[in-house]
Chains A and B, each alone.
Chain A
Amino acid sequence: MMQAVLAVTAVIFSLAATGAIIRIARGPSLLDRVLASDVLLAILGGALCVDMAVNRHLNNLMLVVAISVIGFIGSVTVARFVADRREQPSEP
């Protein structure tokens, strides 16, 4: 029965990761891509959490914390050094 839950969450996480990757590829600005990659890291952490819960181990817990640290440092760094290189002020 738990295999059904695992399959359902796997499908949902795959669709969510696909959406985030599409936004990374298409995003009109750098900040959109940073935001989408942050969401992709959150999806990865969530998938690791589901793996731990279904298989009842705690091997990935430090990896989840490290992923959140990486997302934090990455988005703060890019947002700190982002500059406006476009001509028109508003997004098309």
Chain B
Amino acid sequence: MSPDTWTFDLASADGWINLVSAVFMVVGAVMSLGAAIGLLRFPDLLSRMHAATKPQVLGLFLLLASIGLQMRTWWVWPVLLVAWIFQLLTVPVSAHMVGRAGYRTKHLHRELLTSDELEAVVQKAAAKAAREDGSGDGPERQS
């Protein structure tokens, strides 16, 4: 069946499924466009990371759901679910690594942050490391 013959005839269930999957496809594509606009317009790395996750999770979910609706079979849904769950598992890890490296190399506008809970942890770890260095060198540095 060629894609030309597909209709959005709302009297039949087929037309409804076509309409829903078409809406999913367009919205999933708009997620990618939103990520690109966010990449171009946002000021620093951390806010660009916020925009970059849209097509990776919600956009991929909408597009995989449109595949499942168009295939009209049940066995394809577990395969699509596995693909989406794999993406859900890998995206937070890579976002964590990129955000951590961005914080360490100071790719952020500190005045744009509303709260920085990591700074207290970093300073505590730095103070602890300095204390351990000092106790190893000699008694005069212990304070």
Could you tell me which A residues sit within 8 Å of B by CB distance?
1-3, 5-6, 8-9, 12-13, 15-20, 22-23, 29, 31-32, 34-36, 38-39, 42-43, 45-46, 49-50, 52-56, 58, 61, 64-65, 68-69, 71-72, 75-76, 79-80, 82-84, 89-91
A2 contacts which chain B residues (CB < 8 A)?
A: 3-4, 6, 18, 22
Nearest 10 pairs between A and B by C-beta?
A19-B36, A49-B63, A72-B90, A79-B97, A84-B105, A16-B32, A12-B29, A16-B36, A2-B3, A79-B101
Question: How does the 8 Å CB contact mask read for B3-44 relative to A, with 1 for contact and 0 for none?
Answer: 110111000000000100110011011111101110110001
In the complex, A53→B21 CA distance in Å?
8
Contact A90 B110, CB 8 Å, known A5-B25, A15-B36: yes
Partner among A5, A36, A42 whose Cβ is within 8 Å of the Cβ of B56: A42
Chain B interface helix/strand/loop/mixed = helix
A75 contacts which chain B residues (CB < 8 A)?
A: 94, 97-98
Are B94 and A1 interface neighbours, CB within 8 A?
A: no
B52 contacts which chain A residues (CB < 8 A)?
A: 35-36, 38-39, 42
Contact A46 B55, CB 8 Å, known A19-B37, A22-B40, A80-B97: yes
Are A46 and B29 interface neighbours, CB within 8 A?
A: yes
In the complex, A65→B79 CA distance in Å?
11
Are B6 and A46 interface neighbours, CB within 8 A?
A: no
Are B4 and A36 interface neighbours, CB within 8 A?
A: no
14 more A-B residue pairs beyond the given contacts A1-B8, A35-B39, A79-B98, with a C-beta to C-beta distance below 8 A:
A2-B18, A20-B35, A31-B105, A42-B56, A43-B32, A49-B64, A53-B69, A58-B76, A58-B79, A79-B97, A79-B100, A84-B105, A90-B109, A91-B107
Partner among B56, B64, B106 whose Cβ is within 8 Å of the Cβ of A89: B106
Are B105 and A91 interface neighbours, CB within 8 A?
A: no
- B31 and chain A: residue at smallest CB distance: A46
Partner among A17, A29, A32, A82 whose Cβ is within 8 Å of the Cβ of B36: A17
Are A84 and B94 interface neighbours, CB within 8 A?
A: no
B134 contacts which chain A residues (CB < 8 A)?
A: none
